[in-house]
Amino acid sequence: MNANLIYYGLMAFGLLIGATVADVDLAPVFGLRHRSAWTHGAPFPVAFYFLARLNPLLWWFVVGLLPALTMHLLYDCFPKNWAGSANIKFAPLPWHLPGWASAFYIAAGAVASGWAWLALIAPSWRLW
């Protein structure tokens, strides 16, 4: 089997997973609430960035995952209103952010995700 096919398959799988990975907080197993600070902010993409640097196969997966995660977070910046489940929660702690801070937090996560993606692909494209 051609190695490029494996790499592109991992990237495509990353794109599919990345579109919904931030909503893993909806799974009751984790004990988080929707729009968790851990999955809808910078910690998630930064963790994926460091995972991608461990293994070339993970690199291809994360290079697909991060742009989809960025788009997901950007989409989450525009809810119908900033109330209830739209706000960032710090579960299991009882804290949550108000609407304006939630928007800023999610946007910062999208920027971190985009930065992580660019930092991963920049050496291969000689961007900087």
pLDDT tens figures, 91-120: 778 888 998 999 999 999 999 999 999 999
If we measure between CA atoms, which residue out of 72, 5, 81 comes closest to residue 40? 72
What tokens appear for 55 in the block? 């293994």
Give dist(CA 30, CA 56) in Å, integer.
Answer: 29
**Helix axis angle, 43-52 to 56-76, nearest 10°:** 160
Per-residue pLDDT reduced to its tens digit, 50-81? 999 999 899 999 999 999 999 999 998 988 88
pTM to 2 decimal places = 0.88
Give dist(CA 5, CA 64) in Å, integer.
Answer: 14
If we measure between CA atoms, which residue out of 84, 82, 81 comes closest to residue 102? 82
Strand partners, 96: 89
Domain count, the chain: 1
> Domain limits at 81?
3-125
